[in-house]
Chains A and B, each alone.
Chain A
């Protein structure tokens, strides 16, 4: 009985909503702080989260107070949502067993969406703390070693905007051919912007960061990379095109969960709309 009350308190909707609002406020403040000090927070985008946090001294941790607070709030929110959702699903199962209409499958959709939101959060946590990534300037003949594979850039083809275009002479796209060799196989793949290649669980993609170049920031910074970073900061300014190799186990969890959330959300709200209209139509006839 007492345990049930504690669970009710932990899974209280008021607490969950308050935590969500608090997390939103922390994100708002954090966004302003990050934009104000990009030199300090920029490496967070290229470094594993726990490694970045552990590398900070006391003043660095003080500067990232909002980040620590955000993780604490999101952790509590995760527990709250899990308890609340499990309790709701348990009561729906009871209703279904009793044959009541409110226990229909449709009523389970919000609970499933909440569980999927937790999966997205877990996916982001995995992605931020376990990713492996390295990059080199994109040049023909460039070699890269990543997780036991040897990669060589065979050729690069730049596609420019045509002379009649407003953007004439600017790069429109880049097509690169790579050879990926490991102990067992040799594979040749083509890639271009937003069209990466996946070989043996590793994704190869082209990246470019003109804004970082304008500000003189090397992309990505050489610090905290697991593999030997071959990008020279000075070379980066000469060549904004980079070849990136990465392994990110969290992304597949995020992508699958998000796709399901969107599909379920659209179906749920459309169903709700039709049910309401049906009820309104019936009451008008009555």
Chain B
């Protein structure tokens, strides 16, 4: 009960931090307190799961808000207080709320889903998703305010690198666990589609006739697609059998 309270407390603190940020106030105190409460919840989950891996520490549904929070914290502590980072804590709050309302039990851990490769895959995929969603936020704020900033492009570049690492780890994992580096399934095809969408995004800036405003719309639409695929994937997994929860 206390742990659930900490989780919802961290959501409130992230939301408060986001609102304060939008109002132009200092946000470090609520952000750091919220992050600490969030970490206590995840550590408790890791101990319950008895495996200090992605499986026990956090299912991907819990990893994404953690990665988003880490990006926001990194920006704050690198003194990156520029305007486009303001309010990004709200994104953390929204995704953490989704994780809090999601079934809290653990999915049955199949033997081929535990180890270095699945852990690396989930961590890098969640990190990439966090970058893509953050980039969509930046492009949305740039579109709404009309301000010029290239932050979304740089965020997508690092998201793309993380996503590529995730895909390589995923291919190696699939090869060792299922016997083929690629499987004809919705999960693999959608991952490939996302990689191609962001690969084409990175090439757009080399086309002379391509305008910056279009890139912002593209980044926003791609971020929306990432969120849609993420939500559909986890809504589907809601029906899977779980232990303790």
Which residues of A are interface residues toward B (Cβ below 8 A)?
13-14, 16-17, 20-21, 23-25, 27-28, 30-32, 34-35, 41, 44-45, 124, 127-128, 131, 133, 135, 161, 164-167, 170-174, 193-196, 205-210, 244, 246, 248, 250-251, 254-255, 258-259, 261-262, 265-266, 269
Contacts and interface: CB of A to CB of B under 8 A. Distances in A.
Interface string B169-182: 00111011111111
26 contacts: A17-B200, A17-B207, A21-B196, A21-B200, A24-B193, A24-B194, A27-B196, A28-B193, A31-B188, A31-B189, A35-B185, A41-B184, A45-B185, A127-B180, A161-B50, A166-B48, A166-B243, A167-B106, A171-B111, A173-B114, A194-B117, A206-B111, A207-B112, A208-B111, A254-B181, A262-B168
A30 B188 CA distance: 10
A266 B203 contact: no
B183 A45 contact: yes
Contacts of B207: 13-14, 17
Contact of B184 (A34, A207, A208): A34
Nearest to B206: A13
Interface of B: 48-50, 106, 108-112, 114-115, 117, 157-158, 161, 164-165, 168, 171-173, 175-190, 192-194, 196-197, 199-200, 203-204, 206-207, 243-244
What does DSSP make chain A's interface, helix, strand, loop or mixed?
helix
Nearest to B49: A166
Given A30-B189, A167-B243, A17 B204 contact: yes
Given A17-B204, A21-B196, A265 B189 contact: no
A171 B207 CA distance: 54
Given A31-B186, A167-B108, A265-B161, A20 B179 contact: no
A17 B202 CA distance: 9
Contacts of A30: 189
Contacts of A166: 48-50, 106, 243-244
A32 to B, nearest CB: 7
A45 B184 contact: yes
Q: Which among B111, B165, B194, B196 has the highest number of chain A CB atoms within 10 Å?
A: B111
Contacts, number: 137
Contact of B175 (A20, A251, A265): A251
Contact of A194 (B106, B176, B188): B176
Q: Which among A172, A194, A205 has the highest number of chain B CB atoms within 10 Å?
A: A194
Given A194-B173, A269-B157, A258 B168 contact: yes
Given A13-B207, A44-B184, A133-B179, 11 more contacts: A20-B203, A21-B200, A34-B185, A124-B181, A135-B179, A173-B111, A206-B112, A207-B179, A259-B168, A262-B164, A269-B158
Contacts of A44: 184
Nearest to B190: A31
A47 to B, nearest CB: 10
Nearest to A44: B184
B108 A13 contact: no
B116 to A, nearest CB: 8
Given A17-B200, A205-B179, A172 B172 contact: no
Q: Which among B177, B184, B207 has the highest number of chain A CB atoms within 10 Å?
A: B184
Contacts of A32: 186
Contacts of A174: 111
Nearest to A164: B50
Given A20-B203, A258-B171, A251 B181 contact: yes
A13 to B, nearest CB: 6
Nearest to A210: B110
A246 B197 contact: no
B158 to A, nearest CB: 7
Contact of A20 (B164, B173, B200): B200
B111 A24 contact: no
A154 B110 CA distance: 23
A248 B165 CA distance: 22
Contacts of A133: 179
A24 B168 contact: no
A262 to B, nearest CB: 6
